[in-house]
Amino acid sequence: MNIPEEAYLLRVFVGESDKHGHIPLYEAIVTKARESGLAGATVLRGVMGFGRHSVMHTAKILRLSEDLPMVVQIVDQLDKIESFVKVLNTMVPEGLVTLEPVRVIQYRSGNP
C-alpha cells in the first residue's frame, strides 16, 4: 500500500476505560481502521492528561488511574480519512478528534 507524500494525520483522543461494546474503544478504532483498508494505526498511552471535564488522569504511583489518556493516530490520504471519520462518529461518544496535513517522508515495509 502506498501513501501519497501529502497525507493527513487523524488523531483520536479517548480514555483508556472507554468501551465500544465490550472491548476497549481504542482497540475497536484500530480494528475498524484495518477493516477499512487504512494504511496503519498506532495507539499511544499517555502518562497524564485531562479533557473536557477537567478531571486529571495520571500514572503517578500516589494517584493511580485506570483511565489514562489514549491517542489513536492514523495517517492516510484525505478521502480515506474523511470516510473513516464518518465511522468514528458512530463509535466515539466522548473524546477529541483532530485532523491535520502531514508530509510523508517514508512508508516502507522492509520487503522488496
pLDDT, tens digit, 9 for 90 and up, residues 63-78: 555 678 899 999 999 9
CB neighbourhood size of 8 (10 A): 20
List of the chain residues with pLDDT < 70: 1, 4, 51-66, 111-112
pLDDT of res. 47: 76
pLDDT of res. 109: 74
Q: What pTM does this model have?
A: 0.84
pLDDT of res. 71: 97
**What CATH topology corresponds to 6-103?**
Alpha-Beta Plaits (3.30.70)
pLDDT of res. 55: 66
Q: In angstroms, rounded to a whole number, what is the distance separating the alpha carbons of residues 9 and 103?
A: 9
